[in-house]
Amino acid sequence: MKLLRLLLLTQALLLLNTACAAESQGSPSTATPTAHQRPAMTASPVLTLTPLVPSTPGKAAVHTAGPSPTAPSCLTRGGEVVQGKLETNLLRDPLEFSIYLPPCYAQSGEQRFPSLYLIHGQSYTHDQWDRLGADETADELIASGAVPPFLIVMPRDRLWEQPTQDPFGQAVVEALIPYIDSHYRTLPERNFRAIGGLSRGAGWAVHLGLTHWELFGAIGGHSLPVFHTDTAHIRQWLDAIPPDSMPRIYLDIGEKDRPNILRSAVWFEAILTEKSIPHEWYLFRGYHEEAYWSAHLEGYLRWYAEGWVASGVTAAQK
């Protein structure tokens, strides 16, 4: 009997040791990241500098419930992207733009929505964000209840000049935003309007977000090269913004981006740190290419939406 007990005890200890060893090693992940997965922002990507305001992955999800089994069919059909042109004497040609209308926009009565202005990179047009999957990614996030529904406005910049010679920025502020707010059901307050861009578009986002901070509650600079004509004014623009009105700021770039663009982004981030301005800064793996921006697109959209959720917008707002 004693021998039997000893054998059973020995077997139990062996099983316990085996289980503990397996737990300490962990199970290898078999998931393959996709373009629509959110980057692990609280994990440290390569050479990530700690953000002054840590990101909160999934924050929006606790404010909105996912679709119920009785969710309207329009929610699962997704939104739509429509094209527009705006005549303005500020530009030689009409200002072309695409606008993403979220799922159930036509069926939502008087409901109003936040708006996100996304600007493309140099040598591309206003279809770039659409090609990267901005609408499909927004559809998925909205349908899951992870973010509230919102509009995406994607204007076209035809020139490749500095803001001192390119009236595109002035046209966005003085013509496009008033047009969008008057023809679509937006929430026109700055807390519900964000601006972002990639590459040259990121330069525009910083330029417009700082010089017209009263219009934008958030600025996203993805692979940011600051405009040459802006560098002498950045500190002055930041100092002119009341501290309690400083836009939320998100910066990211690939560690293998073009050296001059990487230096520009690091320079701008250093100024924000120097002035103790809250911001988020991420140096991820990647290059200055569409594959990089597409891979981080879901993370971008979640971040923009976090500000609207914090301001009280939910999926059920009317």
Q: Residues 135-177: pLDDT tens digits?
A: 999 999 999 999 999 999 999 999 999 999 999 999 999 999 9
Mean pLDDT for the chain overall = 83
pLDDT category at 312 given cuts 50, 70, 90 is confident
pLDDT in tens, 186-241: 999 999 999 999 999 999 999 999 999 999 999 999 999 999 999 999 999 999 99
Query: Which tokens go with 90?
Result: 């500020």
Q: Is 100 helix (H, G, I), strand (E, B) or coil?
A: strand
Contact 224, 261 (CB under 8 A): yes
Distance CA 86, CA 95 (A): 5
Confidence of residue 95 (pLDDT cuts 50, 70, 90): very high
Structure confidence at residue 35 as a pLDDT band (50, 70, 90): very low
> Which among 182, 121, 175, 111 is positioned nearest to 149, based on CA atoms?
111
Distance (Å, whole) CA 145 – CA 62: 9
Q: pLDDT tens digit string along 261-303?
A: 999 999 999 999 999 999 999 999 999 999 999 999 999 999 9
pLDDT for the residue 70: 55
Per-residue pLDDT band at 80 (split at 50, 70, 90): very high
Residue with tokens 């490749």: 160
Quote the tokens at residue 97. 């733009």
Give the residue extent of every domain in the chain.
62-310
Please check the confidence at residue 48 and state whether its pLDDT lies above 90: no
- pTM: predicted TM-score of the whole model, two decimal places: 0.79
Among 66-75, 91-100, 127-136, whose mean pLDDT is lowest?
66-75
pLDDT score at 52:
38
Predicted pLDDT of residue 24: 35
The mean pLDDT of 19-27, rounded to a whole number, is 35
CATH architecture assigned to 62-310: 3-Layer(aba) Sandwich (3.40)
Angle at 157 between CA 271 and CA 176, to 5 degrees: 90
Q: What are the CB-based long-range contacts (under 8 Å, 24+) for 132-135?
A: 132/290, 132/293, 132/294, 132/297, 133/35, 133/36, 133/294, 133/297, 134/100, 134/297, 134/301, 135/78, 135/79, 135/80, 135/81, 135/100
CA 212 centroid distance within chain: 19
Structure tokens at 83: 């094209």
Residues 6+ apart with CB under 8 A from 141: 147, 298, 301, 302, 305
